[in-house]
Structure 1
Amino acid sequence: MPTRLAALGAAVLFAVAGCSSPADESATIVTPPSPAEDLAELPAASAGGACILWDYDFIEQNLGVRFAVAAADQVDDTSTCVVQTLSAPWPDLALSVVETTKANATIFLDTRMPEKATKLTGLGKAGYRMNTKASGEHGPTVEIGWLSEAKQLQTLRFTFAKDATAADVKDMNAKLLELAKALSTTNG
């Protein structure tokens, strides 16, 4: 979706900047046929990467937030996905998955768990949760990372808009844990 919007924006710029001659003072401005909100919503999975593991309805059912734009990347054995709303840069939700690791629970907790995180039980072989305060233009974040039963490193990170309250963060801790459990891979 962002690529299509960028291409549309570039077409508008080319139409305004490059299609009129110096003698032609009345340049034609090209406008999109409808606002971005009216464009058809592409499935999150169409972005590829880790986005193939979820869809907007699944996320909304688990978190209560409706996202509409997805972007993904794949570098070596790490796949990522970020989803956002159309109306603002936050909230957003990111998922990263490392396809396989030789780490066990002890190594995961010793090397992958951030210093200020708390250990989680009941999620994969080992897990953690970390809440961070608002920073820059965005609100607080809730991050959950875990070593799945299928020996994958998985991380979910929800970033709030600036106006999020402490109650919003507390509520998201429970919701994000349930989403992590639904996404956690098993051996079979």
Structure 2
Amino acid sequence: MRTVAGVLAVLVLLSGCDDAGAHPGPAASTAPAAPAAAAGGACQLLDFPVVNAKLGLDLAVAAAATQDNTFTCVLQPSGGATPDLILSVTATTIGADIYASAVQPKGAAPVEGLGAAAYQLTTPATDTAGPGAEVGWLAGNKRIIQLSVHLTHGTADTAGTDLLPKLVSLAKLIDLSSL
């Protein structure tokens, strides 16, 4: 027993030594503290590793809200407002023809292979965020879904165009999970 007590005493004494310069500390982790789905709402359709891998971002914080029959989710990096990803899901009774004429923004390009009707477009930079991209679609389960990303202020305008095919790919994964 004395040997165990002696070893513990030495370990306690050594743990108080300051050798911060001798060994670098552990690398800071940007891993999310909780899965995106834990925020509820539309966040249940998102997964940080999948979103980050598809878009090349480092999002780690999720927040959800519900208003009437619309569920939303915002993903952001820890410690910053942008880049951000916004997902909204709204129940509807409209068909593809109404969606294309009344919901789809003017100037948007169609997306093949996504929902009953879908569009894609780039979004310009604003005073608070850089350029971005948006994909919207009418899902087969009668949901209007919109997915958008705003990049960091000062990001080149071409970054929104580069992001668009990645966002369409993510939208197709979300569409499968929303059936």
TM range (shorter): 0.7 to 0.9
Counterpart residue number, 1:116 = 107
Maintained 8 Å contact 2:132/2:159: no
Cα displacement (A) at 1:187 = 8.6
Q: Distance in 2 between matches of 1:165 and 1:152?
A: 33
Aligned partner of 1:95 in structure 2 is 87
Q: How far 1:64 sits from its partner (Å)?
A: 1.3
**Which residue is equivalent to 1:140?**
131
1:127 aligns to what? 118
Q: CA deviation at 1:102?
A: 1.4
Please, what TM-score do these two structures have when normalized by structure 2? 0.77
CA distance in 2, matches of 1:40, 1:134: 27
Tell me the secondary structure at the aligned position of residue 59 of structure 1: helix
Q: Structure 2 counterpart of 1:46, which letter?
A: A
Is residue 148–residue 185 contact of structure 1 (8 Å, CA) maintained in 2?
no
Tell me the equivalent position of 2:37: 45
From the superposition, tell whether residues 64 and 40 of structure 1 become closer, same or farther in structure 2 (CA, over 3 Å).
closer
SS at match of 1:97: strand
2:159 aligned counterpart, secondary structure: helix
Partner of 1:30: none
Residue 165 (str. 1) matches residue 150 (str. 2): no
1:184 aligns with 2:175: yes
| Ranges in structure 2 where 5+ consecutive residues have no aligned partner | 1-28
**Quick check: 1:81 aligned with 2:73?**
yes
Aligned residues: 152
Contact 1:146 1:154 in 2 (8 A): yes
Q: Deviations over 1:114-159 (max 9, x none)?
A: 1232222221110111212111121112111000112211000100
Structure 1: state its 5+ residue gaps. 1-36
Query: Amino acid of the residue matched to residue 143 of structure 1?
Result: E
CA contact (8 A) 2:43 2:64 kept: yes
TM-score by length of 1: 0.74
RMSD: 2.2
**Corresponding residue for residue 12 of structure 2:** none
